[in-house]
Amino acid sequence: MDASLWDRITGTQSDPQEWVVIAAGVLALAAIVPHAVWRLSRNAITIAHEGGHGLVALLMGRRLDGIRLHSDTSGLTVSRGKPTGLGMVLTAAAGYTAPPLLGLGGAALLGEGHITLLLWLATALLIVMLVMIRNAYGVLTVVVTGGTFLLVSWLTGPQVQAAFAYVVVWFLLLGGVRPAFELQSKRRRGGAGDSDADQLARLTHVPAAMWFFFFHAVSLCSLLGGGRWLLGL
């Protein structure tokens, strides 16, 4: 890799002004709170969710057969390996925790001024994930998302890159909170009987309610810690 390009990726950039950070958070909320907008923007959370399942499955030595993303913002990650044990538990637990933890990691990078590095890492992860996508809608979703990161990384100036990066990280932190509450609501209405929480309950003999508590604890603590980094507290 060219030395100047490497320096550009790994170097630090100036923090944006405080109003940009706050405006980015407001914009992220605007993509999460209204139901009509959330039906579209939730696709990005699904990418992170299924990507989390897939990454942990590989790290646990499981064989990843493929990932499917659907237009209703649901998804499916299929892996092969031992059907019980720690590897399967961590793989199942990785979905709902992946978006907020990715947001927390992104906030840590932004807190150190690594805006360009964040954008390139996100692009690289999306390219790797694209190889494992097994349906047309999933390919379209990941290509559009990855293309957006790539275009912002290559064609825009530092101020636009910074604003975009802060919107993305705020979105992961804030958007990572909502899905677990939505799943709980759906289960109360008799749906989602084979959710991640139910699978974890069968694997560990720990009630699904405790796994929901775990999902909420991870997302809310990530939001609190990541928000403090983003706001420079």
To which residue do tokens 């109360």 refer?
Answer: 188
Written as six digits, the tokens of 207 are: 């009630």
Q: How high is the pLDDT of residue 2?
A: 56
Structure confidence by residue, pLDDT tens digits, 10-58:
667 778 899 999 999 999 999 999 999 999 999 999 999 999 999 999 9
Query: What is this structure's pTM?
Result: 0.94
Tens digits of per-residue pLDDT, 59-97? 999 999 999 999 999 999 999 999 899 999 999 999 999
Residue 12, Ramachandran bin (φ over 0: left; ψ between -120 and 50: alpha; else beta): beta
Calpha distance 120→129 (Å, rounded): 14
Q: How far is CA 230 from the centre of its chain?
A: 17
pLDDT at 7: 62
User: End-to-end alpha-carbon separation of the chain, Å?
Assistant: 36
In angstroms, the Cα distances linking 28 to 31, 41, 122, 171 are 5, 10, 17, 5
| C-alpha gyration radius of the chain | 18
The kind and range of the H/E element at 211 are helix 208-230
Question: What is the per-residue pLDDT for 15?
Answer: 82
| Least confident span in 54-58, 189-193, 202-206 | 189-193
Instruction: Give the list of residues 6+ apart from residue 210 with CB closer than 8 angstroms, or none.
Output: none
Alpha carbons 169 and 147: distance in angstroms, whole number = 17
